[in-house]
Structure 1
Amino acid sequence: MIKLIVGGKGSGKTKKMIEMINESATTTPGNIVCIEKSMKLTYDVSHAVRLIDVDEYKISGYETLYGFIAGVLAGNYDIVEVYLDGVLKIGNHDLAGLGGLLAKLDAIAGDNIKMVVTVSSDEADLPEDVKKYI
């Protein structure tokens, strides 16, 4: 299951995601992963959450990001929630390709893994294949 948090820059997407992560860290039985660019959430999320910086692994573009996330999920079957902050920064601001990434992530997440993704864009600017995840 994929859920998007959408809004322009400075609209509070990351703050909302941090609140969701920290609430889940106290109630969710299983592992939680937060994937971000540049480790800016280090002091904001619970220490119980696995925080991964894509810059450390030289991840750029949707294909590489998908492979990375699939590998993380394959390496740990106890992951129940994945939070992805700033997907457009990682995907080089490619709105047209975002729908393809989300469809592939939705397929591997199924009903067992909850994925929350922040998208820095107005809802009206999103392609239809992305809007269905809002």
Structure 2
Amino acid sequence: MMVSLVCGRQGVGKTRKMVDLANEDIKLCNGDVVFIDADNRQTLQINYKVRFVNAMDFNIKNIDMFHGFLRGIISNNYDIEKIYIDRLLSIIELSENEILDIIGELEKIGNKYNVDFVLSISRDKLEIPEELHQYVIFS
């Protein structure tokens, strides 16, 4: 399974891109699509068939809680095919190394449960570790 990154400074259209991708995927996927965000602003733009989750409702304080949160979503519905996580760094504070750790863990979760992840982070491609450049699909 795959992990992809949508990155760029605030205001360059990352969220719009994520919403468009999720809305397109719900038409093409055989399984379910989940869109996780740090607030409710996108609820009207997301197709009603996409499951929308406001992560801030779950008081996620660290990486372990974030992984448990994702596993809980997946364990509740094994038909999930794709999970979009918009504004990752607003949901949980992460250092550059922790971003690498999260990507590695998402690859493991994705492979185990056949789920693709698309994340957005508010950093330019040149500001993220070079090891992450291979995951960038939009910058």
Deviations 1:23-68 (A, max 9, x none): 1112211111111111111101000011011111112332211110
Q: What SS does structure 2 have at the residue aligned with 1:89? A: helix
Deviations 1:49-96 (A, max 9, x none): 110111111123322111100111122110001000001111225333
TM-score in terms of structure 1 length: 0.92
Unaligned runs of 5+ in 1: none
- Using the TM superposition, give the Cα deviation of residue 11 of structure 1 relative to its aligned residue in structure 2, in angstroms: 0.8
1:21 matched to 2:22 = yes
User: What's 2:62 paired with?
Assistant: 61
TM-score in terms of structure 2 length: 0.89
- Using the TM superposition, give the Cα deviation of residue 16 of structure 1 relative to its aligned residue in structure 2, in angstroms: 0.6
Which of residues 123, 127, 130 in structure 2 aligns to 1:128?
130
- Over the matched positions of the two proteins, sequence identity in percent amounts to 28
> CA RMSD for the aligned pairs?
1.5
Q: What SS does structure 2 have at the residue aligned with 1:42? A: coil
Report the Cα distance in structure 2 between the residues aligned to 1:94 and 1:68, rounded to whole angstroms: 19
User: What's 2:32 paired with?
Assistant: 31
Task: Quickly say closer, same or farther: Cα 1:60–1:44, change in 2 above 3 A.
Answer: farther
- Mean Cα displacement is larger for which, 116-125 or 88-97? 88-97
- Contact kept? 1:88, 1:94, Cα under 8 Å: no
